[in-house]
Amino acid sequence: MRDSAIDASRVVRESMKGRVASPGDTPASTGNVANIVTVARILLAPVFIWLLLWDGGELGVIRYIAAALFILAIATDSLDGQLARRRNLVTDVGIILDPIADKILIGGALVALSILGELWWWVTIVILVREFGITIFRFIALRDRAIPASLAGKAKTIVQSVAVSLFLVPLWTLLGDWVHVVNWVVMGLALVLTVYSGIEYLWQAWRTRKGAA
């Protein structure tokens, strides 16, 4: 067991060697700037969730701070990917963490909103089952092949982010109850895209496996 721990420690130290921010063709460090941004986004999740629950539906200043942190974290979604691609800092760790960061942020916000009674639980459950189900399926069944993100999948991520942001920022207190209608329409669109893109992904996976066979 001690030898295994030493080997694991050595692997971690070796993975940290390499380029951190500069572009190039040499191996990139696991602790490069793109992965740091991804980890920072993940670490923001428990902070804004705690603030959201602390506000407890009072819709005060804390609620706005929580919403701002979520929007900041979700708005930097493409930043880590762009840094990794443009500076050739792509690592296996980054490939795994990037989609997980989005799901933790979106999933955490949905669960918190449902706890506060502002979002139906069945909506949260459907989205979470799709997101984490597809992620697990990708890692287990499709670890040896990649299926590119479809237009519906990309649109799903954007609409989910907008829908959750609209639910988090209590604009209805300033503009009136009609904002709730807009919020639910956008959330409904996010739900439809979530289910559709999930079915589309499974269909593409079946076709890919069939073609390989």
Q: Domain count for the chain, please give it.
A: 1
pLDDT band with cut points at 50, 70 and 90 for residue 194: very high
List, for residues 83-94, the tens digit of each pLDDT value: 777 777 777 677
Is 10 a domain residue? no
Residue 119, SS3? Answer: coil
List, for residues 22-46, the tens digit of each pLDDT value: 676 777 777 777 888 888 889 999 9
Is 12 a domain residue? no
Is 81 a domain residue? yes
Is 87 a domain residue? yes
- How much of the chain, in percent, has pLDDT values that exceed 70? 82
Is 1 a domain residue? no
Question: Which neighbouring-strand residues pair with 28?
Answer: 19
Q: Which residues of 60-79 are buried (b: 16+ CB within 10 A; e: fewer)?
A: eebbebbbebbbebbebbee
Is 15 a domain residue? no
Residue 84: CATH number of its domain: 1.20.120.1760
Is 44 a domain residue? yes
pLDDT at position 6 is 45
List, for residues 63-74, the tens digit of each pLDDT value: 999 999 999 998
Q: Residue 56's domain spans which residues?
A: 21-212
Is 4 a domain residue? no
